[in-house]
């Protein structure tokens, strides 16, 4: 039995899944008598560690974005001080679904290996990592899941996370994240492409439609401060991590993923890119099949995509000032249609109502946002 004195959890959560998982772990720690701190990294100004002599355990909990840990979490870990305690653990929440009665898992990719390696380089030993298949919140890709499905996935995950917490807190090592390692490594080029380019594209697919009341909730709630007001309407900067908090929290349902416009962006930028690469190869006489050129051309494509999408988004934002254009964007966005549900994590009360077996709940003492 490990004799931890304290548990510190640092979490990032776009729509509540990682936060709830952090809370479940904290509740198990409190039951065992540990002093427990749970902190959201998105508004954290500094790391305060009351006593580095005591036996501390640190956990990092975060969603999976593009088969990787979200950049905000990677940056946090990169700047995390070394030597606060010997051991840490990691939990990544993934996008789980339920098809009929079968729970289907998400995919981790590099989301556990990269943070574990970064922390190992800082001298921390990882005593456990585990993916948890919470409901998928990626509503740019698919409509939010039905309430009953979300509740059922939550109930399943609660047991999984609490069991993981109990094993870790009792001194066991749990490397559940290793099960899918071969598939995770196979998918790693996609993680890299997402990290270098894909996420910038996604950040420029969000618009506020004519229902926007300028209430400012999206701006105030954005974990990366990536939404600003430009010409009286919200504008998404490249630093947006597509965490889905704004889309899901907007009381007017005014935030859309502009699917029609995104398709136009892809076609237009690809055409420009192909032209540019052809021009370069013709002008310089480079063989297009040379391996080094293939690698460089990938980087050129990413740069063209980021520059192109930034410019086109500025034009889109300006055009949104005109009513006919607003209607065009709205009706070519799948998120407009009533069947395209928003994602809402399950509040504890609601889950307890639907969960027949009652559980003893222990309040988390600290800093849960």
Ligand X SMILES: Cc1cc2nc3c(=O)[nH]c(=O)nc-3n(C[C@H](O)[C@H](O)[C@H](O)COP(=O)(O)O)c2cc1C
- List interacting residues with ligand X (CB under 6 A): 13-18, 63-67, 93-95, 106-107, 109, 134, 136-138, 242-244
Q: How far apart are CA 319 and CA 233, in angstroms?
A: 12
Residue placing its CB nearer to ligand X in the complex, 16 or 59: 16
Nearest to 52 by CA among 123, 100, 153, 137: 123
Alpha carbon 57 to its chain's center = 24
Q: How far apart are CA 239 and CA 226, in angstroms?
A: 6
Closest CB 285 distance from ligand X, rounded Å = 40
Residue placing its CB nearer to ligand X in the complex, 14 or 128: 14
DSSP characters over 121-177:
HTT-EEEEEEEEEEEP--TTTSPPPPHHHHHHHHHHHHHHHHHHHHHHHTT--B-GG
Q: How far apart are CA 135 and CA 63, in angstroms?
A: 11
Residue placing its CB nearer to ligand X in the complex, 28 or 184: 184
Residue placing its CB nearer to ligand X in the complex, 8 or 12: 12
Quick one: tokens of 50?
Answer: 């009351």
Alpha carbon 202 to its chain's center = 12
Residue placing its CB nearer to ligand X in the complex, 68 or 297: 68
Q: How far apart are CA 248 and CA 225, in angstroms?
A: 16
Residue placing its CB nearer to ligand X in the complex, 73 or 127: 73
């Amino acid at each position: 039995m490990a004799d931890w004195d304290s548990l510190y959890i640092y979490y990032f959560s776009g729509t509540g899944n990682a936060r709830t998982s952090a809370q479940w772990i904290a509740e198990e720690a409190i039951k065992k008598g540990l002093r427990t701190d749970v902190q959201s990294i998105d508004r954290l100004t500094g790391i305060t560690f009351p006593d580095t002599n005591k036996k501390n355990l640190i956990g990092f909990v975060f969603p999976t974005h593009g088969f990787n840990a979200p950049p905000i979490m990677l940056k946090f870990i990169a700047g995390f001080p070394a030597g606060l305690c010997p051991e840490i653990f990691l939990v990544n929440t993934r996008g789980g679904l339920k098809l009929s009665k079968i729970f289907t898992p998400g995919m981790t990719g590099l989301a556990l290996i990269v943070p574990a390696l970064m922390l190992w380089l800082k001298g921390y030993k990882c005593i456990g990592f585990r993916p948890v298949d919470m409901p998928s919140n990626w509503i740019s890709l698919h409509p939010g899941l039905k309430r009953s499905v979300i509740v059922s996935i939550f109930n399943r995950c609660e047991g999984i996370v609490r069991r993981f917490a109990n094993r870790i807190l009792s001194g066991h090592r749990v490397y559940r994240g290793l099960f899918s390692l071969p598939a995770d490594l196979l998918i790693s080029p996609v993680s890299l492409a997402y990290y270098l380019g894909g996420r910038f594209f996604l950040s420029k697919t969000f618009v506020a439609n004519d229902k926007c009341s300028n209430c400012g909730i999206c701006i105030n709630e954005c974990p990366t401060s990536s939404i600003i007001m430009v010409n009286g309407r919200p504008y998404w900067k490249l630093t947006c991590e597509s965490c889905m908090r704004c889309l899901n929290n907007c009381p007017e349902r005014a935030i859309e993923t502009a699917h029609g416009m995104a398709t136009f962006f892809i076609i237009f930028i690809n055409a420009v890119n192909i032209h540019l690469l052809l021009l370069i190869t013709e002008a310089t006489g480079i063989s297009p099949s040379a391996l080094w050129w293939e690698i460089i051309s990938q980087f050129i494509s990413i740069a063209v995509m980021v520059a192109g999408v930034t410019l086109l988004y500025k034009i889109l934002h300006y055009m949104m000032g005109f009513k006919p254009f607003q209607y065009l964007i709205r009706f070519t966005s799948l998120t407009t249609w009533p069947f395209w549900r928003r994602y809402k994590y399950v509040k504890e009360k609601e889950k307890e109502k639907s969960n027949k077996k009652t559980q003893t709940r222990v309040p988390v003492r600290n800093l849960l946002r």
